Chains A and B, each alone.
Chain A
Amino acid sequence: MDNNATKPRFWKSLNLLANKPESIESTRHEFQKGVTDDFDLNALPDKSRRKFLAVLGASAAFAATACSDYPDKGEIISYNKKPSGVVYGHANYYASSLNSGLGILIKTREGRPIKVDGNPQHPINAGKVDATAQATMLDLYDPGRVRYPVKKSDSKLILNKDEMPKTDWERIDKDITEKLKAASQSGKEIAIVAHSVKSPSQEKLFNEFVLKYPTTKFYTYEVFGNQNKLGAWEKCYGNKNLPVIAWDKADVIVALECDFLGTEGITVEQIKQYTTRRDVDNAQNFNKLYTVEANYSLTGANSDYRLKLSPEYQYDFIMALINEIAVKKSQSAANLDDSAMSRISQYSISDIASKYGLHADKLASMVDDILHHPTKTLVVCGNSLPEECHIAANLLNEVLGSVSNVYSDKYEVLHRPINTLAEFAQLSAKMKSGNVGVLIHFDSNPAYHLPREIGYTDALKSVETIVSMIHLENESSEGSHYILPVNHEFESWGDFMLRNGVLSTQQPVIAPIFDSRQKEAVLLNWMSEDYTKYNHDIYNQYIKAHWQEKVYPSANTFSSFDEFWYSCLHDGIFTWDEVGIPRAAFNAAALSTTQNSLSKSGFTVILTQPHYLGDGQYANNGWLQEVPHPITKVVWDNCAMMSPATAKKLEVAYGLDKLDKISDMIDLTVNGKTLRLPIMPQPGMVDDVIAVDLGYGRTRGGEVGTGVGFDAYTLMNKSGSKIYTGASVAKAGESYELISSQEHHSLDEDFVKDFHLKRHIIQEFTVPFYVEFEDKLEEAKSRLKSEFGDDREAYEKALKTEKIHLLGHHEYQNHSMYPDKEYPGVKWAMAIDMNKCTACNACVTACNVENNIPIVGKEECGKGREMHWMRIDTYFSGTPDEPITSMQPMLCQHCDNAPCENVCPVVATNHSPEGLNQMTYNRCVGTRYCANNCPYKVRRYNFFDFRNDFKDGYYRKDTLELLNNPEVTVRSRGVMEKCTFCTQRIEEARSAANIKGRKIQGSDVVTACQEACPSDAIIFGDMNDPNSKVSKLRNHSLGYHVLETIMVKPNVTYISRLRNTNMEDTHSGH
């Protein structure tokens, strides 16, 4: 009994449980021993908490009394000598080029670049740049950039930037020129590893460098190059003048594993040309896009018909298609001899269709369309497909006779052929054997990009002198003896020639922010007799000299060279007519040597190009990491995309049955190398195919980029191929937090199935339906006209009813509890043409840059706290096997009856007289009622001061302040924000109009997303102006508002997408 009484039933600690007497005693006192003793301030140790607080209190009191000068407002610092052309508060624009050779227009404010868009005069990208280029603004100001040249004396690795000893350029120049000379004299190789050459002046420099240092060898590489395509072209046509495709000329496009709308080639140009044939007012002229692919690419998501085919069968498929066309076309196909014909005739399309489970109706439709438009059909293979597929596709285009129609007379200029991976393997061997004296990384990262089988990283250890000219620390600079910071493209001089007849110029728009130099100028300096005479202008002079000699004479101008040069710099381009080289005849023999190099076994792995990270070099750019993958919507990671059936077979899952956002990991083994990575079941993928984005998993990718995702370069073998068969997959038994901003609904569940269609969020029709509709509408118009005569109002009303009826919509009555508000002046509205939108995300990034949108990081994205004002929603319909994807840019709809406004307790969000739903940050107290009440979920809340919160304030460091757009408030913690329709641009335009003494017009304002949209799908303007494009689209038969039945009266009109499919297929809209 006693024993029981002393033993406690609940215990607070193990000591109490053990009935220790001192513990029981201590529970009887309120305070612990010694806590209540008096204390003597002086007797306390130097840094005690109490002393600290005492001192803090005293100093606060002193500070308070000392700060009697509270009205102090700081200083205004003006220039000492103001540069001409700068007006405070006005932006200056400069034409330049990206290092990819595309023309840009850089917006600068008071001498600092803040925004980049395409150069409208540039013949290639015509005023547009992609998401990656939009966000390179951040790279310029990246606090992680190498800030000064470094010479590493010992072999210790430089891991921390702070450990880097600072060295001056002159000493480094002296060291390296001596080493270069020594290497030349001793016959050791000087190897310079660079990306592919796009600049004529750079090519000249490379050649001259070899003259100065004869043992120099340049090695150029490109991970996502078009080597296969080029090789095939050379075999078929005997030259390396790969023609540029005129995408707008093709009526039917058959894209074979080719993501020309997403990642391959110059996407902005391709999107623009492709979508010119997607004009709703000319529906008859719509092109038709077929994709045949295994990976679910953005092009596949945009296509009218998508056929699923594993890449091993692509060659057979093309050959079968040639056979089918050649037979059906019944005319002798382009100079094919009997042996070729006999080879082709082995392949039968019906066999292949049944063998590989191709959708028979889609295939029949494809063959039918090709046969109807043979000379206007473009068959194009993706860069990842092996050479034989490209050869077969070339032949198919020849057989169709479309070659002269779908290729333009421009061709891609090849300044210097890319080195093969075999040559890199030789380099690696030479490095190991000590035959390379000096190795220079010319703004490249071979240790990360080259297949690991080549053993480049290992070989680095045996090189005497390694010089890394880099922007950010990378895998190749690890262990380099010299690290030389290079200028960003906005700080550089340059010229680029991507195609015949087009030269673009590059000029610096800001002096180098850090102690960096232009990479070409550094080489030039090492070539000069006296390296101490370096100045920042030497490469500019070099380019000028080259232009004077080579370009100026062909300009045939009466103006002096200087005038010519400055006018070129001003425009950013110089174009001239150059007669294209006549295309050589097709060499049918090219086909005879081909055979399918891929054979199906096990799993197939496709290594894909990341959408926004380039080849991984933009890993440190948080903006780009945070743009969701357009298909999976995964942020801050890559993953193994596989079909839901494959995932089921492997017994792995994402989210659904398990914890939200948790993905199972798999061990993917290819070429004897294993990579463990999370999976994402993606409807539409071909079974047993796994697609992994490259460019992630950087081990030295800067503070932001290191360790994001998984490095799929490790899976490559030394062929550098992007497609591997015979892979094996095992469930790893581990899970991983993978953040996707997409809620993955089960497509089969009745409640959510086709939710977006039932709710009219997405309305789609087919081209044949719409063409018929237009005819019926014309008929109805004439009928109603005779019926109503002069009664305009009744006619309009009847016509509207007729339209609704013809489109198969339900008519509903306008019952709003609010009276209609008058907008007498301008009323802002936007229209988004879903026929043109390809979900490229250029608008999203442009919005981020324009509106100072913070980066929140993976963890916060996982909580749904991403701050993007604009997003692209993806909806799937159909079955998980054959999904139909609809994508929709979503932003604040600026509703006339905005539900967010009437719940704000402090009127921080309200309506402007021009129809804008305004958000006033300084008034917002952060109740978040508005976000809760927004039907479109476009309001974003600053749960933190994200700039401070992300990576210990990485994006608040010194240089990043320069990045902010001075016309937009930088929001702080605790306020709500959302799309403003670029109100800063509206106000600037209003002021400009005011100065000119007129009222603002709709055409004065271009929003950031509109400016960036490669296909001009976004139209902004005044809906009260009956002649404006936006008001016309608002009244378009296909125009609709998302969730219009809830009567919030949005001001963003979406134009229904027309799918160019057959009448009986997709018809969704009611």
Chain B
Amino acid sequence: MKKTVLDYALKVKLPFTVFIILTSFAVTYFVAKPERDGVGYAPEQPIKFSHRLHAGDMAIDCQYCHTSVEKSRHATIPSADVCMNCHAVARTDKPEIVKLTQYYKEGKPIPWKRIHRVPEYAYFNHASHVVNGIDCANCHGDVREMDVISQVHSFTMGSCLDCHREPQKRMPQMIGNINNGPENCNACHR
């Protein structure tokens, strides 16, 4: 039997094209999944600290613990002695507080699992954002509702730039009070 062009198109070209299309979709789907950017990442912490309890119910200001968020590039995870300011007396019998006290007494730092991370060649500056009135929740979500802290927004360069280009979209309450963020490379990379 003589092979026709149609044969070739159906037997070779079509399956090949379909395969490429399917693979592309599959790869794109998995690569673009928000989980890949860490959204929803909520690992178990060495001490079951609840932001809902501290920041939500008791309404302790973020900066009571994250002290240098207005001063420095880093918001900083509090050192154990900050916890002990209260927990030297408060709820000392609870198992998690016993753990905390043990860390503190042994002089060991608490190995908190990291939730939010930008690559080391990106230099995010907390102070520059916070002093300009950008609320923590814009990036970190409403931690007052979280028992276990998790990542809510994507931390890719794309998501940084979305906001730098159109801040009013993410923060409609700040229209008129906020300028576009810088878009030049050196703003973050050095």
Q: Tell yes or no: A284 within 8 A of B by CB.
A: no
Let me know if A921 and B121 touch, CB within 8 A. Answer: yes
Main secondary structure of the interface of B (DSSP, over half): loop
Complex contacts, B131 vs chain A, CB 8 Å: 994-995, 997
Query: Is A71 in contact with B71, judged by CB distance below 8 angstroms?
Result: no
> Which residues from chain A sit less than 8 Å from chain B, CB to CB?
71-82, 87-90, 910-914, 916, 918-923, 967-969, 980, 983-984, 986-987, 990-991, 994-995, 997
A–B complex contacts, Cβ < 8 Å, 30 sampled = A71-B41, A74-B114, A75-B112, A75-B113, A77-B111, A78-B77, A79-B109, A80-B79, A80-B81, A80-B107, A80-B110, A81-B79, A87-B71, A88-B68, A89-B68, A89-B72, A910-B185, A912-B186, A914-B184, A916-B186, A918-B184, A922-B122, A923-B185, A969-B120, A980-B186, A983-B186, A984-B190, A994-B128, A995-B71, A995-B128
Q: Contact between A89 and B113 (Cβ–Cβ < 8 Å)? A: no
Q: Does B156 contact A (CB under 8 A)?
A: no
**Which chain A positions have C-beta within 8 A of B109?**
77-80
A79: chain B residues within 8 A (beta carbon): 79-81, 109
Which of B74, B103, B121 has a CB less than 8 Å from the CB of A89? Answer: B74
User: Which B residues fall within an 8 A CB radius of A?
Assistant: 35-36, 38, 41, 43, 68, 70-74, 76-82, 103-104, 107-117, 119-123, 125, 127-128, 131-132, 182, 184-187, 189-190
- In the complex the two chains form, is B185's CB within 8 Å of A912's CB? yes
Q: Is the CB of B110 within 8 A of A78?
A: yes
> Are A72 and B120 in contact (CB-based, < 8 A)?
no
Chain A residues near B116 (CB-CB < 8 A): 73
Asked if B190 and A968 make an inter-chain contact with CB atoms under 8 angstroms apart, the answer reads yes
Minimum CB–CB distance for A968 against chain B, Å:
6
* Contact between A73 and B186, CB atoms less than 8 A apart: no
| Distance between Cα atoms of A914 and B111 in the complex (Å) | 41
CB distance from B165 to the nearest CB of A (A): 14
Q: Which residues of B contact A980 (CB under 8 A)?
A: 186, 190
**Complex Cα–Cα for A87 and B121 (A):** 21
Smallest beta-carbon distance B113→chain A, Å: 6
Nearest 4 interchain pairs by C-beta? A89-B72, A79-B79, A89-B73, A82-B79
Q: Across the interface, name the chain A residue whose C-beta is closest to B105.
A: A80
> In the complex, what distance in Å separates the CA atom of A990 from the CA atom of B178?
17
Q: A78 near B41 (CB under 8 angstroms)? A: no
Cα distance, A82 to B35, chains bound together (Å): 34
Residues of A with C-beta under 8 A to B78: 78
Could you say which residues of chain B place their CB within 8 Å of the CB of A920?
A: 185, 189
Complex Cα–Cα for A582 and B119 (A): 65
B189 touches A81 (CB 8 A): no
Instruction: Report how far A78 CA is from B49 CA in the complex, Å.
Output: 15
Q: Which residue of A lies closest to B72 (CB)?
A: A89
Q: Looking at the assembled complex, report how far the CB atom of A147 sits from the nearest CB atom of chain B, in whole angstroms.
A: 24
Q: A81-B80, A88-B74 are in contact. Are A918 and B108 (CB under 8 A)?
A: no
- Is there contact, CB below 8 Å, between B121 and A76? no
Give the shortest distance, in Å, between B161 (CB) and chain A (any CB). Answer: 13
Residues of A within 8 A of B103 (CB): 80
User: B80 — which chain A residues lie within 8 A by C-beta?
Assistant: 78-81
Question: Which residue from chain B places its CB closest to the CB of A994 in the assembled complex?
Answer: B128
Q: How distant is the Cα of A969 from the Cα of B122 in the complex, in angstroms?
A: 9
In the complex formed, the residue of B with least CB distance to A990 is B128
- Does the CB pair A922–B190 fall under 8 Å? no
Q: A81-B107, A994-B128, A997-B131 provided; 9 other pairs, C-beta below 8 A? A: A73-B113, A78-B79, A87-B71, A90-B68, A969-B190, A980-B190, A987-B187, A995-B70, A995-B71
A970: nearest residue on chain B (CB-CB)?
Answer: B120
Contact call A73/B104, Cβ cutoff below 8 A: no
Instruction: Indicate which residue in A80, A90, A983 contacts B108 across the interface (CB closer than 8 Å).
Output: A80
Please indicate the chain B residues that have their CB under 8 angstroms from the CB of A90 in the complex: 68, 71-72
A87/B184 contact (C-beta < 8 A), A75-B114, A922-B121, A994-B132 known: no
Which chain B residues lie closer than 8 Å to A983 at the CB level?
A: 186, 190
Nearest Cβ on chain A to B112's Cβ, whole angstroms: 5
CB-defined contacts of A75 to chain B, threshold 8 Å = 111-114
Residue in chain B with minimal CB distance to A911: B184
* CA–CA, A72 and B182, complex, Å: 30
Across-interface contacts of A969 in B (CB, < 8 A): 120-121, 189-190
User: Known interface pairs A78-B79, A920-B185. Does A991 touch B128 (Cβ–Cβ under 8 Å)?
Assistant: yes
Chain B nearest CB, measured from A234 CB (Å): 55
Q: Are A913 and B184 in contact (CB under 8 A)?
A: yes
Q: How far is the CA of A87 from the CA of B68 in the complex (A)?
A: 7
CA distance A995 to B122 in the complex (A): 20
Separation of A253 and B36 alpha carbons in the complex (Å): 70
Task: Assess whether A76 is in contact with B77, with CB atoms less than 8 Å apart.
Answer: yes
Q: Which B residues are in CB contact (< 8 Å) with A73?
A: 38, 41, 113-117
Residues of A within 8 A of B186 (CB): 912, 916, 918, 980, 983, 986-987
Q: How far is the CA of A767 from the CA of B109 in the complex (A)?
A: 65
**B112 — nearest CB in chain A belongs to which residue?**
A76
Task: Find out whether the CB atom of A76 lies under 8 angstroms from the CB atom of B190.
Answer: no
Whether A967 contacts B38 by the Cβ 8 Å rule is: no
Which of chain B's residues have a CB closer than 8 A to the CB of A912?
Answer: 184-186
Alpha-carbon gap, A919 to B109, bound state (A): 37
Query: Which of chain B's residues has its CB closest to A74's CB?
Result: B114
Min C-beta distance of A901 to chain B, whole Å = 11
Distance in Å: Cβ of B119 to nearest Cβ of chain A: 7
Kindly list chain B residues whose C-beta atoms are within 8 Å of the C-beta of A88: 68, 72-74, 76
A80 surroundings in chain B (CB, below 8 A): 79-81, 103-104, 107-110
